[in-house]
Structure 1
Amino acid sequence: MNLPERDGDGYLTDMGDWTEEIGRAMAEADGYELDDVKWSHIIKARAYYEEFGSVPPIRKFAKYIDEDQSAVFKLWMTGPMKPITKYGGLPKPTGCV
């Protein structure tokens, strides 16, 4: 699959290019495994973005999906909002390094 153009951090340059298939293909190209729970976080982050027009900080997101913040960190093994937004075709989260 040909992936749409991505920036230096691997984010889509055009959010409109995103589809579930592209999100999964981007993760695969990066060697990142997405299980069903991680994928559900991505879909919920997209719903949050549609509802509020912004990417949530992890604290708000954990509350939004009704999960413990430390459990979300443990699942993603990293700052979770970066891969969630990247593979969800969302803008880069602010305050994420």
Structure 2
Amino acid sequence: METIEHNGKVYQLDEDGFLASFKQWDEDWVDYVRQLEGIDKLTDEHHKVMISLQDYYKENGISPQVRTLSRITGFPLKDIYELFPSGPGKGACKMSGLVRPSAG
């Protein structure tokens, strides 16, 4: 299992570079992914997407599909892609501490 270090903390990653366990998620992880994504500053919209993703994950045990994410946040897909340059799966789910969503 791969690990990375950021701000003095060590995070275990899965084979896709996502957190191996949601329990590791914290603000330093968010900062790490924010930098990877090239996002200068997180906005309320970023936080709304992350909270929506985490709530969905806690309730359903999986990451939502992209269209479901759009529906539960109320943001058009275009806006989600603007918030998270690498996309809702790779960027938003990763920043939120979730596993990579399935393609299906």
TM-score normalised over the length of structure 2: 0.74
Identical amino acids, percent of aligned pairs: 22
1:9 to 12, 16, 38: 16
1:80 to 76, 83, 88: 88
Q: Deviations over 1:12-41 (max 9, x none)?
A: 12221112x133232255253251222221
RCO greater where, 1 or 2, for CA within 8 Å and sep 6 or more?
1
Which structure 1 residue ranges, 5 or more long, are not aligned?
none
In terms of fraction of residues, the more strand-rich structure is 2
Local SS of the residue matching 1:23: helix
Q: 1:93 to 1:65 in 2, by over 3 A?
A: same
Alignment check: 8 A CA contact 2:93 2:99 kept: yes
Q: Deviations over 1:70-96 (max 9, x none)?
A: 222233233222211111111111118
Structure 2 partner of 1:24: 30
Which structure 2 residue ranges, 5 or more long, are not aligned?
1-6
CA distance, structure 1, for counterparts of residue 71 and residue 29 of structure 2: 24
| Residue correspondences, number | 95
TM-score normalised over the length of structure 1: 0.78
Structure 1 partner of 2:4: none
CA distance, structure 2, for counterparts of residue 30 and residue 16 of structure 1: 21
- The runs of at least 4 aligned residues of structure 1 exceeding 4 Å deviation read none
> Over aligned residue pairs, what C-alpha RMSD do you find?
2.2
Alignment check: 8 A CA contact 2:70 2:76 kept: yes
